Amino acid sequence: MREMTKRTFVLIALLATSGHALAYVLNGENANGQPNEKANATSSERTGKISIERSGGTFMESNIQTAPVSKKTLWAGRIISGLLALFLVFDSVLKFAKPAPVVEGTIKLGYPESVILTLGIVLLTGTVLYLIPPTSVLGAILLTGYLGGAVATHVRVGDPLFTHVLFPVYVGVLLWLGLYLRDGRLRALVPLRSKPAR
């Protein structure tokens, strides 16, 4: 148990470190936290220069143009993300408290009781990263992996398709929808409609 807790804390430290690095990149800063001179902004449109640096120069560089987010879209994304985050935090708190139904359900799914705390820490870490704007994409990616594991587990034990197997998929769709609505950078990377040719 002590070794598993030690591994969990190492994982959290790695996630926090990579989250800070991702925040620098997405905010147009270099590795030292200094503003990137190449990034510019206007009132109608923001162009962020995203670059991943390594010793010896720039490794990858990309221009991303994001249009301002309307207030309705922003609030819709915040509400979806907030409700989803409340559900995920509630789920992780139940994993910390370990009531009898949680322990029985975990054992029924084929996992020992000793992994419940680790699952709760991973879930809470991903949710917190999802709620912090600079690390929200990283949090969404980690939560998507977590939810993928839940799908695989339900498939393995033969649970019903629409109520159990696909439930993590529904959560994942809401997770990315909420982030898509509140983050202009994600909408610029994954446009749902093509821009008209000029």
H/E stretch holding 47: strand 46-54
Block residue for tokens 């598993």: 4
Q: Which residues contact 13 (CB under 8 A, 6 or more apart)?
A: none
pLDDT band, residue 188 (cuts 50/70/90)? confident
**147 within 8 A of 169, measured Cβ to Cβ:** yes
Q: Give the model confidence (pLDDT) of 142-185 as tens digits.
A: 999 999 999 999 999 999 999 899 999 999 999 999 999 999 88
Over its C-alpha atoms, the chain yields an Rg (Å, rounded) of 20
Q: How many residues comprise the chain?
A: 198
Provide the edge-to-edge strand list for the sheet that holds 40-41. 40-41, 46-54, 57-66
Q: Residue 195's closest CA among 15, 85, 67?
A: 67
Q: Give the model confidence (pLDDT) of 82-138 as tens digits.
A: 999 999 999 999 999 999 999 999 999 999 999 999 999 999 999 999 999 999 999
The residue ranges of every structural domain in the chain are 2-189
**65 within 8 A of 45, measured Cβ to Cβ:** yes
pLDDT band, residue 25 (cuts 50/70/90)? very low
- The pTM of the full predicted model, rounded to 2 decimals, is 0.67
User: Percent helix, strand, coil in the chain (nearest 5)?
Assistant: 65, 10, 20
What integer pLDDT is reported at residue 102 of this predicted model?
95
What integer pLDDT is reported at residue 47 of this predicted model?
43
